[in-house]
Structure 1
């Protein structure tokens, strides 16, 4: 089953850039979400401006494929945030809005998952990390439906099953592994700081839902899948448009 992941006995390339992106994003997520847990709306907006600057800075040095993936991830995730939070009220931010730092934050989170997925540490230890993630996420999910915690988590258990399927059947298992770590970190910090809160009852099927749900990384797998799937099509379309323009108007 683990043959789906990279083999450990290969001399994978080492790039300090990958670890910098991951470390920087983990740090920024922790600091910004703790600040926003008690900050004014003006400070929240300032965090949004800073996040956009950081995202553009991190994209310097990335190829156009990764940049387009980030653009698609930001657009899709932002639309999803407004639907899931504002419209469905599956979770709610402090001010009942979608903070300005959320769209660029999704871009940083996606880029971090990509950076982790291609890092030498993740490639060498892919199978060990997969076992760790499945064991940790599985225990967390079982805890949520055990009846022990006051706020059950049927949604989390369901999402974790989806996540495992993505991990073994999806086109980018290493990106999903990376997403699990950064997404779990931001959800735990964000909910602990009171930056947002998940509804105790999920609004569609009326299932119990943890704060945060244990398998919440599955949502980010969807973002990753959309970004990876659509970015080549968009780039190809832009290239065709550019060729048509040069052929038609430039002689």
Structure 2
């Protein structure tokens, strides 16, 4: 059954976000502090699992999603080396960029996109958006109060303010925030990577927690970059899709 077409919200959520979060737990465990106690090849096993699942998945999705996943991997590689290696925003366990990370970005993008596009989810999108907005604000506030995560709170508020004027993209990016938060909590708990005590380790008046709550703001660059590359390389198809959306909007009003 297609995630997009299913009438069951539970099915759509489980087949997209549910499996994604389960993959976080299992995949990142292979590169965790638990595994390094019994093997020196922990990161290698995580890479093998990711590449295997990525190969299987990319053959199952349609052409458009294939291209977007590959773009997400490409931007993921560039972004990881820029933010982690060059700027030192965060540090991986072996002080490298694990191969599974850029491919993992593509999975996060795909799962969140499928969830946000599912008909059963879109039907209740206003309620879901309100719930996620309240949850995110409370989540960031708790990190601010208990963990002094000023950096994460500032990024969270910035995200919510930007999304006030983005009704079409709001569900996608709110879901992305939650997904990235889960990813970061699991990854830092496993000690696969860690964040410095201040923003970028260079701004002392922006103390940060490990992980900062609103770090999904930087993941949005990945999403925007992926979409931009697809638009630039498929201008005719993108224009056709925009025309179809406009016709549907006119009919619905």
Separation (CA, whole Å) in 1 of partners of 2:110 and 2:159: 19
Separation (CA, whole Å) in 2 of partners of 1:52 and 1:66: 17
In structure 1, stretches of 5+ residues that fail to align are: 1-11, 238-251
Whether the 8 Å CA contact 2:92–2:193 is kept in 1: the answer is: yes
Which residue of structure 1 lines up, in the alignment, with residue 97 of structure 2?
98
Superposed displacement of residue 218, structure 1: 1.6
Task: Give the superposed CA RMSD.
Answer: 2.5
Which residue of structure 1 lines up, in the alignment, with residue 139 of structure 2?
140
Separation (CA, whole Å) in 1 of partners of 2:143 and 2:225: 28
Identify if the C-alpha distance between structure 1 residues 224 and 101 changes in structure 2 by more than 3 Å, giving closer, same or farther: same
Cα deviation digits, residues 138-195 of structure 1 (max 9, x gap) = 122223333x43xx21211121123213433345223213312321211111111211
Q: TM-score, normalised by structure 1?
A: 0.79
Which residue of structure 2 lines up, in the alignment, with residue 129 of structure 1?
128
Q: TM-score, normalised by structure 2?
A: 0.78
Cα deviation digits, residues 178-224 of structure 1 (max 9, x gap) = 31232121111111121111111113433211211111222222211
Which residue of structure 2 lines up, in the alignment, with residue 14 of structure 1?
6
Which residue of structure 2 lines up, in the alignment, with residue 178 of structure 1?
175
In structure 2, stretches of 5+ residues that fail to align are: 237-253
Which residue of structure 2 lines up, in the alignment, with residue 115 of structure 1?
114
Separation (CA, whole Å) in 1 of partners of 2:17 and 2:133: 21
Count of aligned pairs: 224
Structure 1 segments of 4+ aligned residues over 4 angstroms from their partners: 15-19
Separation (CA, whole Å) in 2 of partners of 1:83 and 1:30: 26
Structure 1 segment 182-197 matched on structure 2, within 5 A: 182-197=179-194
